[in-house]
Each structure stands twice: as C-alpha cells, then as structure tokens.
Structure 1
C-alpha cells in the first residue's frame, strides 16, 4: 500500500455519492462557484446505495398519503402539523428541480420524476371514520386541497382497480386520493446531478473509502482515504475546510471517527427491507398509484405497507412492502460488523434503553424475518385481493438506519425521520436517519448551511431564492402563493396540477 501526502485543502469534501451529497454540491456550486469540492464514494458508481431506484420506494414524500404524519388527538381532532411541514419542504424540492430543469442542468423530467397519485387505504369502520375526519381536516388546507375521499368500493376501484378486484369481504373500506403525488427515481436524479457537477470542476472519486479523520492545527480536517484501483491500493491524505457526510448509516461512523462531541450518545438501529415486485404488464397497467396503509402497532414508519407504482428507465412495475427485518449492516454493501463497531461507551446506555422500550418492535422485526411467503402474500392480498402469486417476486431493498438519541428521562429514544448533526464550529456535519430523507433533501441541506455557515446566510439567501423562489415564505399561510407555486412546478416537471371538481 502506498501513501500520498495531503494536497492543498479543498473548501468542501463530501463523503458518500448519494442524493444528499449531490444536492449539497449543487447548492455550493450555485452559491460559491469558485470553491473547490471533492466527493468520495466507496462504490464503483454514485447513487448505488439508498438512492438507487430499487433500494427505496420512490415516493415523493409530501404528506399526502402517509397516515403516520397525522395524529388523532384524544378529543377526536387531528394534528397534521408534520404532514404540513413535509409538504412545505417537498415544495422546495420541486422548486429546486424545476429551476434545474429550466437551466438545462437536469434532463427531461420524466427521466427522474413522474406523476403518480397518492392514496391512503384503510379497513374497518373505525379507520374509515378516522380517514373521513382526516380528509375533512386536511382538504381544507391549501397544500392538501386536491385530496379526495371515498368509502364507495366502486369509486375506489376506478382510482386503483387492484384494490377492489376480487374483494368479497363486507368489511368497510375507504380511501383518499391526491393526483399531485409523484414517483421519483432518486438514483437517476443523483446521476444527472453528478454528471453536471463533473463539468463544473467538482472532483468525483469512486472506489474511495474515508477510513479516518483528524483535526489539523489550523482547524481544517485531514481525511485518510483508501483509494482502490484495478492493480493497486493507496492511501491518500486529503485536507478540507468543511466536511459533509451524506453516507447513510455510515454518516454516524464518520462523526465517531472525527470525535465530534455533538454525536456523543447517538446510535443507530439498522433495518433491512424487502418488497414483492410485479412486472406483469397485465397487472402493472391496472395500477397507477402509490397506496399507503397503516403500519402495525409499534412498527417504524418505514414499515407502513404500501402498493406502489414504480417508473424506472421508462418501464413500469408494482412493488408491495416493505417487509422489514434486522440486519447489522448500515449500508446494503456494508459490513456485518457495522452495528457492533458503532457501539461506543457514550451510546451504550441510550441503545440499551431504546431496546428495552421497544421490545414489541424488535419482536415485529424478528417475525418479519421468519415470515413465510404465504404470509407475505396474505399481507399483499389485504391491498390487492385478486393477485396471482406467480406474478410476484421477492426483491431486496436498501438498508435504513433509524436514529437512537440520548434522552434525559428515558435514557435513549428511537427517532424516525431525518436529522442534521453538526460540530459546534460548523466544520463538519452529517445527515442521519431515513424517510422522508431524499424527498426533502434541499430543506435538510438548508439546515446544514444555516448551522455551519451562519455568516454567509444573508449573502446566500438571494441566490438560494433564484433556485427556490418561496424560500422563507409560508405556503400554508398564503393559499394563492401555494396554488401558483404548485402550478408552476407541476408544469415544468410534467406533474399533475389542480384537480377540477
């Protein structure tokens, strides 16, 4: 193994070649075109882990169909604050994509995003009543004005025929539908962003793994990078003024290697996922929707069952799942020792407390691992009763790592969502967690910019508004602005606009 000394410091080094790093590099190049940027990816190609098309469900999360983003209070009222927050964030995502399409940076929108209605499906009178109240509350909000409700099986069958084909049960069902939903190929999107960035002098190094980090005397970071070639392997030392880890579950390991105090106490619960996939054209042509149901009690949000239209490389397929399980890897192509080596003295107690508080979740994950194909098909039939088993094949999805945080009262808690963890001086940051992750990447990365570059905020804000015009404004409080913004991005991205009654 050969070792090469560090060259002059890069302004920015991004660890991981997924959608987070691609989006942040694009923002930096727009804000500071002269800054030097390097990206280091472990795999031979970028966008091959969680961002890859078949490693996720491709849902453009906007709070339209996910039941866990709305909570029913004891008095029967509905709190959908989280759904509003995610929708506002996804509107920024749509604005960024639209701006990049208009600038010729991204290709035809249909290559990475397509209109697919988002539905919520429930069974039983109690959940039917809940969904009706949810629709009445949410559809009055400007961001959810396109949401429609029905408890008529005939109407639901018109929306998504697979949901009612062969359904003989007298059990009540209901659904909501929003035509403004979308399916996203985040792998293709990542590839297009990096393709443009290469032409903007962003260095993109593949087959490179960051093995260590340490602080230099001048406050910069030195990264030790293992560089693999066909015939050799060398170690290169790279200096950076700012480091960002957008490496999925490995992001925590990066913070730990760097000794970032703000990451003390954090741990991760790795969760694998599998889907049933159908490519039979006769079935696929009868389903144009992403249909979400309610997750089992105690299950993480990523395990909410959903029946999804997917559009990848111009071809349509249908996925059902996920079937979550326990896998010690933090990445699909990670190490069996990922979880074990992430356990440190500072996070043992939070991890232990979390496991003690979530025994039902652990039992659920273990039961999913041992679930037979017959039982998995039975879960699918709750959504699509008329399916034929021979049309469906089990496929593996990507790895997810749910956040475990220290908590003063409970010792440690399991968090769902996406979170920014940054050093106090803003010299290094990472994104931890899972869904809605990729869908709200611009909003998450704006948090990174705010936390790590506060002295640039006033200077950068006008330039960011060039990409995301409503930045700093609330669409929730301005129905006209919400309609105009969604209509503009829908037209540019080829998505469905406002539904006419």
Structure 2
C-alpha cells in the first residue's frame, strides 16, 4: 500500500515513523517543501517548545464566571504523555542516541497581575486536585516567584500584586532536533523515502478512494499517486484541504496568530539560573 505524507515536520515525520513501525510493508514517501526535515514550524525558534503539556497555558482552562473547565488541559496532558512514551521507545531502540538532545526538564510557570489573580488561584485549585498536576505550586509572594523566574521579576516593584504557578517537572522540547533524528532513523532504518523541494499544489481523491497529488518539484510539474494521504503541512494544510474540495474539509478552520521570538545574549551561568518557560495572559 502506497502512502504519501505531506510535510516533513514533527507531525508528518512522526506519522511516517509510527506507521512504518506498525506496518513495515507500507511504502511511505514524505513530500517536503523545504530542504531539510523539521525546518518550518517544528524548528526550535518557531515554536515555544513546551510540548503543550497544559502546565502553564491559560487558554486550555477557560473560565466562565466562577467556574473553570480543566477537561481540555487533562486531555492534552494525557496526549503529551503518550508522545513521550513513543519517544522513550525510540530511545530504547537506539533510534535516538541521546534524549537530552531534544528533551530536558524545565520549569513551567504562569504569571499574572492583579486582575487575573483569582482566576489563576481557581485554576490552581482545580488542576492540582488531579494527579497530573498534583505537584503544581501557587504563590503570591514576590520573593518566591522571583526564585522561580528571576529575570522576569527583575525591575518590578515589590508592592506590585502578582501571582504565579510553577510545575518543576515541565519539559523543553526541541522539536526540530527530534524531527531531524526521527527522519534519519525512518529513512535509513525503516525505508521511508523523503523528497525535498516539493511544493504540493493540490490533491484530488478519485471515486475509488485513491489520491492524486499534484506538485511542483524543482520547477517541474510532477504527479504522485497514493492509497493513503496524510497532510501534516502545518499552516500549509489549510490551502491544500481547501483546494481538495472534499466535504469534510469544510469542518476545519483556523485563526491567524502573530508573534515574535526575541533572543538575548546571555552567559552560561545566566542560562543555568533561568531554566523556565513563563506564560502570561493574552
């Protein structure tokens, strides 16, 4: 059975690796627009690297008055734990030589100011009651918060009302490094094929259920045929689905997100002092 995967980022590479592990007879080809795996949204400076564990992301726990919903946070955290199990399997197999090359323990914090302190307190109460988050801590004490995230608190007046939660067992995931190593294993050991410099223009599904994938490859028009199609193209998945004219594609939507990662020159000692990812309220 022939499988086409669009995108050699963390999603496409994970799917290809997992599928080939479970069904070695599959013929899997990944089509990637860029020149290397994990070079788009999966690269370390193109995402926050939290793994979306829900330790610190307030948008996973919506509040309605005095009621907070933690169901989404629990589901996302459980999914991340499954991902970690798969990565551990790859490490045990020797597919990834050194786990610290892509995953490291890092403090996850949420920091809010006075208008949102009660909301964070409620979030802490509900989440810490579940064993996923039983080690979460909450504080309104300036010095304690500063001990968690020193540079974030530098320059703030002591009288400013702030609150924070911390989970010491959070992770920093370099999805770019993980994708590179997984792609190397998938191609060299599992027989997955990757074609770079391939821009997918549109996809069609014929009445028999197979797929025709139209691409622009190094300036030439090339067609691929597949029994199974997996679209893991990040933001590029939306125009591909839109052009497919498939009824189920109408159920998908998205919204634009703007952001900027700022980089500062720091010493190794400063980096050791500040191993934390801190989220605020948007």
What is the match of residue 385 of structure 1? Answer: none
The counterpart of 1:237, out of the listed 207, 212, 223, is 223
1:73 shift after superposition: 3.5
Q: What residue number does 2:6 align with?
A: 15
| CA apart distance, 1:210 | 1.9
Say whether residues 1:246 and 2:232 are aligned partners.
yes
Residue 141 (str. 1) matches residue 119 (str. 2): no
> Which among 100, 103, 121 is matched to residue 111 of structure 2?
121
Gaps of 5+ in 2: none
User: What do you get for the CA RMSD once the two structures are aligned?
Assistant: 1.8
Matches within 5 A, 1:442-453: none
**TM-fit CA distance, 1:184:** 0.8
Q: Is 1:271 aligned to 2:257, yes or no?
A: yes
How big is each residue's C-alpha offset from its partner over 1:233-259, in whole Å with a ceiling of 9 and x where there is no partner? 433322100111111122122223322
Structure 1: gaps of 5 or more residues: 1-9, 296-501
The number of equivalent residue pairs is 280
**Aligned equivalents of 1:251 and 1:108: distance in 2?**
32
What residue number does 1:213 align with?
203
Task: Find 1:58's aligned residue among 38, 49, 63.
Answer: 49
**Aligned partners of 1:162 and 1:286 also within 8 Å:** no
Structure-2 change in CA distance of 1:267 and 1:68 (3 Å): closer
Q: Could you tell me whether the CA contact under 8 Å between 1:14 and 1:246 is conserved in 2?
A: yes
Aligned partner of 1:28 among 13, 19, 36: 19
**What is the SS of the residue equivalent to 1:143?**
helix
Is 1:202 aligned to 2:189, yes or no? no
1:391-406 matches, cutoff 5 A: none
- Measured against aligned partners, the alpha-carbon deviations of 1:102-147 in whole angstroms (never above 9, x if no partner) come to 11112211101111010111111x4223322322222121000110
Please state how far the C-alpha of 1:34 moved relative to its aligned partner. 0.8
Matched, 1:161 2:147: no
Give the conservation status (yes or no) of the 8 Å contact 1:29–1:35: yes
What is the distance in 2 between the residues matched to 1:266 and 1:197?
Answer: 30
CA contact (8 A) 1:208 1:226 kept: yes
**Cα distance between partner residues in 1 of 2:3 and 2:85:** 25
**Superimposed CA distance per residue, residues 281-331 of structure 1 (whole angstroms, 9 cap, x where no aligned partner):** 164343111111111xxxxxxxxxxxxxxxxxxxxxxxxxxxxxxxxxxxx
Larger Rg: 1
TM value normalised by structure 1: 0.53
Q: Could you say which residue in structure 1 is the equivalent of 2:33?
A: 42
**2:215 paired residue number:** 225
C-alpha deviation, 1:212, in angstroms: 3.1
User: Displacement of 1:29 after TM fit?
Assistant: 0.7
SS at structure 1 position matched to 2:132 = helix
Measured in 1, the distance between the counterparts of 2:245 and 2:101 equals: 41
- The answer to whether residue 279 in structure 2 is matched with residue 289 in structure 1 is no
- Once the two structures are TM-superposed, the CA of residue 216 in structure 1 deviates from its matched residue by 4.2
Which secondary structure does the structure 2 equivalent of 1:273 belong to? Answer: coil
Cα deviation digits, residues 358-399 of structure 1 (max 9, x gap): xxxxxxxxxxxxxxxxxxxxxxxxxxxxxxxxxxxxxxxxxx
Checking the alignment, whether the CA contact within 8 Å between 1:14 and 1:245 is kept in structure 2 is yes
Structure 1 runs of 4+ with >4 Å offset: 265-268
The aligned counterpart of 2:75 is 85
Contact 1:123 1:174 in 2 (8 A): yes
Whether contact under 8 Å (1:278, 1:284) holds in the other structure is no
Q: Is residue 45–residue 261 contact of structure 2 (8 Å, CA) maintained in 1?
A: no
Q: Deviations over 1:431-485 (max 9, x none)?
A: xxxxxxxxxxxxxxxxxxxxxxxxxxxxxxxxxxxxxxxxxxxxxxxxxxxxxxx
> What is the Cα deviation at residue 171 of structure 1?
2.1
Q: Which has the higher contact order (CA 8 A, sep 6+)?
A: 2
- Change in 2 beyond 3 A, CA 1:269/1:151: closer
- SS of the counterpart of 1:256? helix
Most deviating of 240-249 and 205-214: 205-214
Which of 176, 184, 187 is the matching residue for 2:176?
A: 187
Contact 2:113 2:163 in 1 (8 A): yes
